[in-house]
Chains A and B, each alone.
Chain A
Amino acid sequence: MDAKGRVLDKYNARVYKNRKEHVLVKATGDQPQVIAANTRVIPGIMTHRGCCYAGCKGVVLAPIKDVAVITHGPIGCGFYSWGTRRNKARPGEDGKNFVEYCLSTDMQEADIVFGGEKKLRQAIKETVEIFDPGMIMVCSTCPVGLIGDDIHAIAAEAEELYNRPVMAFSCEGYKGVSQSGGHHIANNGLIKRVLGTGSGTRIKHAINILGEYNIGGDGWEIGRILKKCGYHVVSVMTGDGSYKEMQEAHTAELNIVQCHRSINYIAEMLKTKFGTDWIKVNFVGAESTAQSLRDMALYFGDQELIDRTEEVIAEEMEEVAADMEYYRTRLKGKTAALYVGGSRAHHYQLLLQDFGIDTILAGYEFAHRDDYEGRDLTEEIKEDADSKNIESITVSPDPDKYHLRLTPEQFEELKTKIPLDTYPGMIRDMKDGAVIVDDLNHFETEEFLKLLKPDIFFSGIKDKYVAQKGGTLSRQLHSYDYSGPYAGFKGAVNFGRDVTMGIYTPAWGFVTPPWKHTPTLVGTYGGDF
């Protein structure tokens, strides 16, 4: 029996029937492999997934530093999503930085019984009076949807009253099957009300960075490299983001997509609305970063930009070469298991390759099938009852701002060279025999780690200490264990350093006390006195 069979064998029939579709062992063959993803979790299974609110407020909206995001609900949701995701931000031009603050209506029993609309109105009023934000967003939590508070009507009313945009997001935790539904809801709101609503005109070599949340300062490091190459970054969605910058998103000539899982909808909608092409990039890993920079330069096809890009790559690579080589000697031949996100479990495999580390197990927490199988799926993803509950919107070309940079012929030609409007799936880049698990749960984590014995398990905080208690180094790929940046050339070195210290830290040598290896009784042989 293979690893999959040995682990799943322990399930009861119903759980087995469900989980077997979410686990596969990579085998190259004539037909692409299919995996079940983005389906509901079985009750009682210890999943690591979060909820719709976590995806909408926690992931996509909270990093926008100049927007006051008010959580409408009991205190917990706002509290847990306060300062815990490491989406770094510095105050922008208006001096405001809401990332440090937690704003909530802290609903009480009376608000649940009699409705929370009055309290929300008051909270918006107080937010305006105390903070005077340029924009306000309201995110609802589970009970709000159930008691029927009309947050959209209140937002519209407040917008009129306070003369500034007030947006509402119905991202109740029970919607969808993971935080992914929340990404979608947040994205829908941004495209409807924020993105490209400004008055600017197209700027040469201008780009938007999509799906970069500036965890541990990744976005700043990426921005540094891009500026060095000669790009003008219009906006970042949404790390260290600004709604004012996002309003000018239509002025970019190209959108680059880092975390495709959370934001491919926006990339697609920006293309429909403004004609802006998008390419998939990956700034995790030195080699991947170089490749992405080359793809971008090729999109523009400007020789000066292409040359400058090569100069930057050479310069940056040289700067990190010695360190990369050193960490490579320390890490080569190690094996890794990854369980994170909807893009990172793929991105980080490429960074691990920079150091000669093989990935033997990988899984996504809230991915869809395209993240595993590639955007150009062989068959269409079937909608189920849960995915239908997440609103899907359509946009149409903006009569004034729509502009195609490439002719259809140019587009088709470029598509054969760079990941234009597409991204590959994770399965493609994995070796035969590697295990791929969607929504890897606690039980499967424990069992697969015991069976496959990777040297490192990259995951999140909930299972970090499960792995480490069992003797496997675990590093968080959501928060980078409070280190970073990991993106770009220098980030790759930071990553190499962190993994190396984790593997070689002396304390691993003390896990088993010496007396466990030493006989308890000391005797003498031969009857000495």
Chain B
Amino acid sequence: MQSMTPKEVSERSGLRVNPCKTCQPVGAMYAALGVHACMPHSHGSQGCCSYHRTYLTRHFKEPAIASSSSFTEGASVFGGGSNLKASVKNIFDIYNPDIIAVHTTCLSETIGDDLKSFIQDTPIPDGKYVVHTNTPSYVGSHVTGYANMISGFIKYLSVKTGVSNGKVALIPGFINPGDMREIKKIAKLMNVPFTMLPDTSGVMDAPMTGTYNMYPKGGTTIPDIIGLGDCKKSIGFGEFATTLGLEDLRNKCKVPFVSLPLPIGIANTDAYVMALQEIGASEVPYELEEERGQLVDVILDAHPYFDNKTVAIYGDPDTVLGIAALVLEMGMHPKYLVTGTPGDAFMTRGKELMAQYGIEDAVIKSTADLFEMHQWIKNDKVDLMIGGTHGKTVARAEDIPLVRAGFPVLDRYVHSYIPIVGYRGALALVEKIANALMDRQDRDCADEDLEMVM
């Protein structure tokens, strides 16, 4: 397994091996699926759309609908204006969504298609909407595309009427519907009215009913997106995925914002709860205090199994930083933090976090890949890996237990339902980590050392 990966690390400037990121459009597609009755539309060759739908479906085990402009060579030469016009007509005729959310691809970006004017020239049925964002695949990563699509919705739709709706705007990072539910649950417990954009809960975790519904119940509604402009404050979870949306809402509608980390771990969730407390001027209910207390209780109970265990965490920047915060709280030792997404903020935030716990030897790198991480591990092994499916070859090659978290998880079920955010989410992740480490101890120890009580 991965036997051609040499131990010696060599500097690479041309070759990416085993990436830890993918391209913008898939993120845009995911964000668009978090809007109710929305058809994500990929403006490019149909292969992109096919790959993205496939990937999202493999992660969520749910239908991921999206249409494509189906460029041919001719459209690539003469521009995709007529393809978009035909697409919009056919989509409304056949699939009848409330809104079409167009994102671009490297193809349409390279030929310079002007989506804004294309959309202006396209007849749109009354009461329906077409919005767009630019998602060149050669910039950023899928996280950037997710952020850009949120920005597209806000720029096209959100309006400030001047009358506050008393709500807080919640902008989640690139997380699972289960996580989005947990973030909403906490806001409800804190009695703070909110609109969440995007909200893939009820869409990408829709129940089995025996009837297929192209547009399931979930997703942010268009009136709610319009109403974001009248929110009194916005909270973004995860700097990489949400800063753009927060800034757009401030710039367009003067909504002040708080940028928080993804609420993974105790302190990050505390920060969210306290932000809500300040906005809602409300007391933290016992129910949340109880959840928090239970989480701290469990971590304390099981600390001998976590103490100083070394971890490699890889995936999307906001998620990796969040998980790093949690494992630090557990007394573990993050050794490698890896994301393929570019951005120096990853290193800055990672170092700040490590400094809080006096850890000096962690290697933290953005624009990195799993091949490189594997080489580091070959030189200096870790006790545990946490991240998506693509790390499984490394885990197998080096015989390291792997806890799956983040995106994409293609080879397991249920992950998209069980949160890793909030106190409850942390509890679920703590259980997974504990089980992975303790199962390994049970597997590796001598017969006479197999403990009945742990």
Contact surface of A with B, Cβ cutoff 8 Å: 10-12, 15, 40-54, 70, 73-84, 91, 95-98, 100-109, 111-112, 118-127, 129-131, 141-143, 145-147, 173-177, 179, 385-386, 389, 442-443, 446, 460-471, 511-512
Contact = CB atoms under 8 A, between A and B. Distances in A.
18 contacts: A42-B70, A45-B90, A46-B95, A47-B68, A51-B48, A53-B47, A79-B19, A82-B18, A100-B1, A108-B139, A112-B138, A143-B106, A143-B109, A173-B107, A175-B73, A462-B53, A465-B63, A471-B210
B328 interface: no
Interface stretch (B4-12, B180-188, B422-430): B4-12
Contacts of A173: 44-45, 47-48, 107
Interface in B1-45: 1-4, 6, 10, 12-19, 21-23, 25-26, 41, 44-45
Interface in B119-171: 136-139, 141
Contacts of A100: 1-2, 393
B277 interface: no
B22 A465 contact: no
Contacts of B72: 40, 174, 176-177, 385-386
A42 to B, nearest CB: 6
Interface in B46-100: 46-48, 50-55, 57-58, 61-76, 83-84, 86-91, 93-95
A106 B214 CA distance: 34
Contacts of A44: 41, 67-70, 86-91, 94
Contacts of B47: 49-54, 77, 173, 179
A470 B210 contact: yes
Given A44-B70, A142-B45, 11 more contacts: A43-B90, A44-B90, A53-B47, A70-B15, A75-B16, A80-B52, A81-B51, A84-B58, A105-B15, A112-B110, A124-B14
Contact of A76 (B1, B48, B89): B48
B14 A80 contact: no
A50 B90 contact: no
Contacts of B139: 108-109
Contact of B14 (A120, A141, A463): A120
Contacts of A52: 47
Contacts, number: 263
A142 B107 contact: yes
B339 interface: no
Contacts of B2: 100-101
Contact of B94 (A45, A70, A467): A45
B200 interface: no
A461 B74 contact: no
Nearest to A141: B106
Contacts of A471: 210-211
A41 B18 contact: no
B55 to A, nearest CB: 6
B117 interface: no
Given A46-B65, A511-B210, A106 B76 contact: no
A131 B46 contact: no
B154 to A, nearest CB: 24
B4 A143 contact: no
A120 B14 CA distance: 6
B65 A461 contact: no
B51 to A, nearest CB: 4
Nearest to A449: B212
A15 B17 contact: no
A46 B67 contact: yes
Nearest to A388: B73
B414 interface: no
Closest 5 CB pairs of A and B: A51-B47, A122-B14, A76-B23, A44-B87, A44-B90
